[in-house]
């Protein structure tokens, strides 16, 4: 069932005006008429069942659903080619990540000409993925950072993936929030790993095989999510 996020609280048995984007999607894209049922995710993170009435939504009932993970996950991911980074945002959103932070490192080759436009694009991808996966909230897409700002995104447990590291993977039995960092196609330099370690990020291994950046980002999120469903 289609879900939409709206920036207001809702009450059962009330009728609200839907914005033009939602109406366009329901009427022109999905070609739905009156009495069509759909879901609304309110600003208080509650989910409601609604029906379409003359380009308005009549709120039928509140759905007792909490589709968020039991712990917060922040993914700090180095920028890679646009379509691959779009995929990362989409899949991390579906997997339940709370916050996604684009990262610039010494080996990132992507050049950002208009950061505001880029972030707006990423936010739109996250919103659509959150609707598709029936999340209660849309993950936050942060501004682009460098490794020097990693300490601002620390959680209870903090990790950085490094292909030359023999350390174990994340201890999935640990409780509390997690931040993990994934590098670009060329990986991190030794100096960058040292800097991250000084900022409290433990180097971890993702196994014997070298993973693409997008695979690594999704792999870590999927493992954490699988242990915290």
pLDDT band at 229 (very low <50, low <70, confident <90, very high): low
Candidates 217, 7, 223; CA nearest to 92 is 217
Q: Based on the domain organization, do 82 and 185 belong to the same domain?
A: yes
Give a yes or no: residue 195 inside a domain. Answer: yes
Domain CATH number, residue 213: 3.40.1280.10
The total number of residues shown for the chain amounts to 229
Domain count, the chain: 2
Q: Based on the domain organization, do 96 and 191 belong to the same domain?
A: yes
Last residue of a domain, one of 20, 43, 63: 63
Q: Based on the domain organization, do 47 and 84 belong to the same domain?
A: no
Q: Based on the domain organization, do 153 and 185 belong to the same domain?
A: yes
Domain with 164, as residue range(s), is 73-227
Q: Based on the domain organization, do 17 and 91 belong to the same domain?
A: no
Q: Based on the domain organization, do 32 and 93 belong to the same domain?
A: no
Q: List residues bridging with 58 in a β-sheet.
A: 15, 51
Q: Based on the domain organization, do 94 and 56 belong to the same domain?
A: no
Domain CATH number, residue 39: 2.40.240.20
Q: pTM for this one?
A: 0.92
The residue whose two tokens read 């971890």 is: 204
Does pLDDT of 8 surpass 70?
yes
Does pLDDT of 127 surpass 80?
yes
The pLDDT tens digits of the residues spanning 101-111 come to 999 999 998 88
Rg (CA), the chain: 20
Give a yes or no: residue 68 inside a domain. Answer: no
Candidates 204, 201, 198; CA nearest to 171 is 204
């Amino acid at each position: 069932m289609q879900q939409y996020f709206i920036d207001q609280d809702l009450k059962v048995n009330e009728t609200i005006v839907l914005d033009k984007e939602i109406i366009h999607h329901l009427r022109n894209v999905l070609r739905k008429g009156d009495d069509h049922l759909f879901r609304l995710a309110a600003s208080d993170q509650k989910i409601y069942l609604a029906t379409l009435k003359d380009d308005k939504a009549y709120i039928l009932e509140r759905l007792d659903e909490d589709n968020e993970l039991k712990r917060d996950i922040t993914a700090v991911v180095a920028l890679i080619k646009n379509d691959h980074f779009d995929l990362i945002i989409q899949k991390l959103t579906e997997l339940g990540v709370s916050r996604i932070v684009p990262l610039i490192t010494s080996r990132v080759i992507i050049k950002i000409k208009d950061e505001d436009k880029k972030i707006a694009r990423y936010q739109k991808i996250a919103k659509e993925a959150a609707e598709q996966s029936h999340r209660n909230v849309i993950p936050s897409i942060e501004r682009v950072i460098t490794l020097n700002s990693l300490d601002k995104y620390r959680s209870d447990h903090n990790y950085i993936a490094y292909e030359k590291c023999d350390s174990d993977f994340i201890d999935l039995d640990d409780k509390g929030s997690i931040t993990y960092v994934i590098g670009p196609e060329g990986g991190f330099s030794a100096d960058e790993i040292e800097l991250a370690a000084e900022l409290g990020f433990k180097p971890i291994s993702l196994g014997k095989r070298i993973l693409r950046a997008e695979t690594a980002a999704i792999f870590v999120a999927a493992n954490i999510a699988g242990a915290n469903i």
